[in-house]
Amino acid sequence: MQETLIQFAIFIMAGFLGFELISRVPNLLHTPLMSATNAIHGIILVGGMITIAADGPAWVKAVGFLAVFFGALNVVGGFWVTNRMLSMFRPPKARVKRRKG
Amino acid sequence: METGVAPFLAYLLAAALFIIGIRRLRTPETARSGNTIAAFGMTVALIATLFVIEFESLLLIGAAVVLGSVVGILTAQRVQMTAMPQMVAAYNGVGGGAAALIALSEFYHLSEEGSLGVVAGTTIPLTVLVGSVSFMGSVVAFSKLQELAFTGSVTFPLQQVVNAVLFLGILVLAANAFLEGEILPFLSPVASVIAVLFASLVLGVLLVIPIGGADMPIVISLLNAFTGLAAAASGFVLENYILIIAGTIVGASGTILTRLMSGALGRPLGKIIFAGIAASGGSKQEELGERPVNDVSASAVGEYLSDEANKVIIVPGYGLAVAQAQSVMKDLVEALEKGGTEVLFGIHPVAGRMPGHMNVLMTEVGISYEKLLDLEDVNPEFEDADAAIIVGANDVVNPAANDPEKDTPISGMPVLEVGNAERVIFIKRSLSPGFAGVDNPLFYDTDKTMMLFADAKQGLEEVVEAVKNG
């Protein structure tokens, strides 16, 4: 029970942190931000790895396999596409430097 | 599951990296490094997890991870930036699907062990419900935006009643799973959870089909928050702290983002979700085109811009992206600046199909993000602007939204005050009022407004030519 209460406390604190982190972001960055947080919930892949590693019949393993596949797709696709978006936001100075270099 | 000390500390490090990453996503200069830091945090968390589990499963995990990564890289690398919103929807959906599948699989494990407590017994059906709704909701959102199926608002009689009955059914099935088949003796607990999963998939479809394409960004953002919460819930089931922390942060930030978006649209979230788009303003359609407008040629627009305008503010809308006219827009900026004209962009929060989507499309063609001003920053600038050029947009500049006499679907939405500029130039295919179906009084202000009826790309190309020659 103690463990559950601690988890619940962390849940509440993380919730407040999430609100605070996002509340002051320019519109300019809303799409990349949504895309990046979308990649971060790919953390569900951790759960997939844990569940596939536990014993079970073939159908449970198959369910776990699909979960890990989905999770990896969420993580890799999410971060990759966010990076592509943000590569367009390079400051003008950096661009000039790259051209010279 | 017991987490050792080292993996636990690694999870804390990952959580810190996620938080630092999101913090850096708040300014354009640091955003890219923020994403990289978050991705590094993810790597740390995944490696730490390898030390929590049995090593013999590595082959299976590796195969699934490689498969997922390859599909992820191929799709993320190939997607057009105009198709970004549906791609985010797709990645979000699979995340939700993963959460639902994990919860189902954990239900099996825990009930085999006979250690299904109150926490897992209630959290698992919840995770399955939220994850499945997020999965199918995202699939529907994807197909709406990609215009594969369900385009527009799909409704049928007694829709709300059907949804309510389905939801009650899911609750009964969930209770049956928890009470080990006492309610429905013919369904085993595991079968009940599987039934919850399929019923929730159907619910996900039913919840999103009535919502029109224009509201999809809000739906995707909401489903993003849902998936975060599903991940957090599965963290409670697996007693895994990184899942709880990261999932909750995404759940909370996704909720804020959703509220920001629906606020910018002036549409209460409840109205979007429960009613779809209420058909209104339909009768006004007949009046359209009856009144005279100042129909001009591209050369007239070019002449005015090169001769009279020292400061120009451009308002790009989704019509611009549909016509793939972003790079022509860049040419216009260069042509105007060459002639000594100051050029700014006014970006409405919901221009494009997601907040900030238009900024991505503009920066993609090399227009500096410093020229892209938010609603609050750009509105004072119209006062001394010689021209406001609106390309492929209407609702976001429609003064009718702030007319207290009128009741329209966009009433209350803050708009760009283009009417304060010396001249207003619309580049638009027709007088059609756009998504919300509200007529724009600016069209008929013949002293101030010039209407250039053309496809965004073609119209801009002609204007660029005229400016260069002028």
pLDDT at B443 exceeding the cut of 80: yes
From chain A, pick out residues whose CB is under 8 angstroms from the CB of B101. Answer: 48, 63-64, 66-67, 70
pLDDT score of B274 = 66
In order of B377, B422, B440, the CA distances from B448 in angstroms are 23, 7, 14
Chain B CB within 8 Å of residue A89 CB: yes
- Chain A residue with CA closest to B375: the answer is A27
Give the Cα separation of B93 and B131 in Å (integer).
Answer: 8
- Sign of the CA dihedral running A41, A45, A50, A54: positive
- Sign of the CA dihedral running A57, A75, B6, B127: negative
Side chain identity at residue B305, one-letter code: L
Yes or no, beta carbons of B32 and A87 under 8 Å apart: yes
**Angle at which helices A2-22 and B241-265 cross, to 10°:** 40
pLDDT at B414 exceeding the cut of 70: yes
pLDDT at B279 exceeding the cut of 50: no
Chain A CB within 8 Å of residue B375 CB: yes
User: Mean pLDDT throughout B387-411?
Assistant: 81
Does residue A16 form part of some domain? no
pLDDT score of B280 = 36
Residue B267: pLDDT band (50, 70, 90) is low
Does residue A68 form part of some domain? yes
Residue of B360, B368, B370, B379 to mutate for A, most A C-beta atoms under 10 A: B360
B47: which 2 tokens?
């490696």
Chain A CB within 8 Å of residue B22 CB: yes
In angstroms, the separation between the Cα of residue B236 and the nearest Cα of chain A is: 7
Q: Are B242 and A50 spatial neighbours (Cβ–Cβ below 8 Å)?
A: no
Indicate which residues of B carry an active-site annotation.
Answer: 395
Q: What is the pLDDT of residues A29-68, one digit of tens each?
A: 888 888 999 999 999 999 999 999 888 899 999 999 999 9
Q: How far, rounded to the nearest angstrom, does the alpha carbon of residue A93 sit from its chain's CA centroid?
A: 30
Q: What is the pLDDT of residues B203-244, one digit of tens each?
A: 999 999 888 777 788 889 999 999 999 999 999 999 999 999
pLDDT score of A36 = 93
User: Mean pLDDT throughout B427-447?
Assistant: 78
B131: which 2 tokens?
């994850």
Q: What b/e sequence results for B334-363 when a residue is b if at least 16 CB atoms lie within 10 Å of its CB, and e otherwise?
A: bbbeeeebebbbbbbbbbbbbbbbbbbbbb
Give the least confident one: B71-80, B222-231, B365-374, B437-446: B437-446
Residue of B36, B51, B57, B59 to mutate for A, most A C-beta atoms under 10 A: B57
Backbone angles phi, psi at B426, to 5 degrees: -100, 130
The H-or-E segment that residue B334 falls in is helix B326-338
Domains of chain A: total = 1
Does residue A54 form part of some domain? yes
The residue ranges of DSSP E strands in B230-375, in sequence order, are: 311-316, 342-346, 372-373
B309: which 2 tokens?
């305008």
Does residue A95 form part of some domain? yes
Tell me what percent of the residues of chain B surpass a pLDDT of 90. 39
Complete domains list, chain B, with CATH: 79-275 (no CATH), 291-469 (3.40.50.1220)
Q: Which of B355, B353, B125, B89 is nearest to B208 (CA)?
A: B89
Q: What is the pLDDT of residues B161-203, one digit of tens each?
A: 899 999 999 999 999 988 887 888 888 889 999 999 999 999 9
pLDDT at A90 exceeding the cut of 90: no
pLDDT at A98 exceeding the cut of 60: no
pLDDT score of A91 = 54
Does residue A60 form part of some domain? yes
Chain B CB within 8 Å of residue A9 CB: no
Q: A60 lies in which domain range? A: 29-100
* DSSP secondary structure string for all residues of B352-413: TTSTTHHHHHHHHTT--GGGEE-HHHHGGGGGG-SEEEEES--GGG-GGGG-TT---TTTT-
pLDDT at B31 exceeding the cut of 80: yes
Q: How many CB atoms within 10 Å of residue B258?
A: 23
Does residue A75 form part of some domain? yes
Does residue A49 form part of some domain? yes
- Tokens 């559950």 correspond to A4
Does residue A38 form part of some domain? yes
Q: Are A39 and B72 spatial neighbours (Cβ–Cβ below 8 Å)?
A: no
Q: How many CB atoms within 10 Å of residue B284?
A: 14
Give me chain B's average pLDDT, please. Answer: 86
Selected residue with higher pLDDT from B149 and B249: B249
Chain B CB within 8 Å of residue A62 CB: no
User: Mean pLDDT throughout B429-436?
Assistant: 70
Complex prediction ipTM = 0.89
- Chain A residue with CA closest to B57: the answer is A53
From chain A, pick out residues whose CB is under 8 angstroms from the CB of B22. Answer: 21-22, 33, 36-37, 40
Backbone angles phi, psi at B249, to 5 degrees: -60, -45
User: Mean pLDDT throughout B363-369?
Assistant: 85
